[in-house]
Amino acid sequence: MSCIFCKIIKKGIPAEVVFENEDVIAFKDIKPIAPVHIVIIPKRHIASVVNLKEEDEILMGKLIMTAKKIADDLKISEKGYKLLIRVGRGGGQEVDHIHLHLLSGGNA
């Protein structure tokens, strides 16, 4: 298994996990581009938005609801934040396991 995020899910490589349930895991980005930079991923491997199927609709909603919960926990909801999904190399996606970036502060 070569997917780095699947390795994080299976605790094969360490990450600073900030939230986890049966469907979703969220951890601090290893190279943050903002004071708050969390990566939120489904535990099921889906490479990209391009690969989403109809039945993934609820799971993708769970990613956004997880971002909302983490933002509330971090008390950044009032100030505001950015949610970002990169799609494909042209969109800047480097890790081929679908993920939502939660960014706040700095120039984010």
Active site residues: 99
**CB atoms inside a 10 Å sphere around CB 18:** 17
Return the one option of Zn ion, ligand 5GP, none that residue 45 interacts with (CB less than 5 to 8 A, by type).
Zn ion
Q: Whole-number minimum distance, CB 78 to ligand 5GP, in Å?
A: 25
Contacts of 56 (CB under 8 A, 6+ apart): 46
Q: Which of 35, 36, 53 is nearest to 44 (CA)?
A: 53
Q: Does 93 bind ligand 5GP (CB under 6 A)?
A: yes
The contact set with ligand 5GP (CB under 6 A) reads 4, 13, 15, 27-31, 39, 86, 92-95
